[in-house]
Amino acid sequence: MITGLSHTTIWVLDQDEALEFYTQKLGFEVNTDATMDEFRWLTVNAPGRPDHELILLVPGPPMMDEESAEQVKALVAKGALGPGAFEADDCRATYAELNGRGVSFLSEPTERFYGVEATFRDNSGNWFSMTQRTDVPVAN
């Protein structure tokens, strides 16, 4: 059986700038930063959660032809992509903290049926939810 999701690709416009954003603004930890030939494998994770790595990747060859890469970059820059939802222990406090560091929020913390949620963008343009869940499902 499949037991979980361990890696998620986040398309970014620049790895150095993304690294700075995810570590300095969001407070994430660098999981792996390794370069082989010209390929830089750069992953980060939420504090204390190395079991789920975010792969910060710039679209480009040879994985993607130049034209496709430009299209993906355009989608990221235009803000069309939303890779997922983060969890927070205290959404309002984290909002205040991240907002103070200049993270761009699209919506402020609001009560929902599943918890308190805010939405923000990373520095490349990807949008995320940040939710303090009240309905966390329990694994069997």
Measured over the CA atoms of residue 74, residue 77, residue 79 and residue 83, the dihedral's sign is: positive
| Residue 60 to residues 71, 93, 100, 102, 110, Cα–Cα distance (Å) | 10, 37, 33, 28, 38
Binding of other proteins by 113 (CB under 8 A): yes
By C-beta, is 30 or 80 nearer to other proteins?
A: 80
User: Across-strand partners of 53?
Assistant: 7
Residue 23 touching other proteins (CB under 8 A): no
- Residues of this chain, 121-140, that bind other proteins according to CB under 8 A: 121, 125, 127, 129, 131
Residue 99 is a binding residue for other proteins (CB under 8 A): no
Per DSSP, helices labelled H in 13-139 are 15-20, 66-77, 91-100
Q: Decide whether 43 or 131 has the Cβ nearer to other proteins.
A: 131
Q: Which residues are at the interface with other proteins (CB under 8 A)?
A: 13, 73-74, 77-79, 82, 85, 104-107, 110, 112-114, 117, 119, 121, 125, 127, 129, 131
